[in-house]
Structure 1
């Protein structure tokens, strides 16, 4: 059980972020917009995730950072039970779109749902091939 969130699990490559936004598919689960893309060929790392909070929606940097910390913590706690290492690697973008500050239990519940949806989608594409 690895509950860490090291740098290699965070999406920080500008090239991969651009590819995620250009080619990735998305779905909406309020208060998140989720962008997903299968990792490119030759990508042997873990799933990578991007956390984003709009400056237009949440004006104060302190509040934006609070939301990002809550998102990272919820992802960190639930990633191991949902995203199995044998699944194809994915690039995931979690974009917070609400203009209100959500509490940690709400964010945790939504991120858990998002990870379940991603795992189900991965399992269905694996069984098709």
Structure 2
């Protein structure tokens, strides 16, 4: 099992991020929301992921950074479920949409359910397109 989160799996391309917010689909499991779009990635990875926390709700950068760290950690621990089931590559952005500062347990529980929803939706999309 690979529990790393290497540079190749991080979403940094401005073009990709713009395309994500223009054309992307979304699934959510409070307090997380996942926006994703199927893309051709330059790296040989199934997903590139970014995380974001709104500045409007969390004024302090320290708080935003902590929430982003928790989201990355939860994703890192559970990404193998997704990697083993999807066949095409995706660009994804995790957004924190809650109002309170979360604990790791809350984030992790939401992340697991969100990734399961994502897998189901992707598989349904592939079936309907085939």
TM over 0.5: yes
Deviation per CA, 1:74-117: give whole Å up to 9, x if none.
Answer: 00000002332652111111111122101000000101111111
Q: TM-score, normalised by structure 2?
A: 0.89
Deviation per CA, 1:45-102: give whole Å up to 9, x if none.
Answer: 3301110001111111111111011000000000002332652111111111122101
Q: 1:36 touches 1:93 (CA, 8 Å); kept in 2?
A: yes
Q: Give the C-alpha shift of residue 15 in structure 1.
A: 0.7
Structure 1: 5+ residue runs without aligned partners?
none
Structure 2: 5+ residue runs without aligned partners?
none
Q: Give the C-alpha shift of residue 40 in structure 1.
A: 3.3
Comparing 116-125 with 65-74, greater Cα deviation is found at: 116-125
Counterpart in the other structure of 2:27: 27
Q: TM-score, normalised by structure 1?
A: 0.90
Distance 1:71 1:32 in 2: 9
Tell me whether 1:107 sits opposite 2:110 in the alignment: no
Secondary structure of 2:40's counterpart equals coil
Secondary structure of 2:79's counterpart equals helix
Secondary structure of 1:59's counterpart equals coil
Q: 1:10 touches 1:48 (CA, 8 Å); kept in 2?
A: yes
Give the number of equivalent residue pairs.
Answer: 129
Comparing 24-33 with 112-121, greater Cα deviation is found at: 24-33
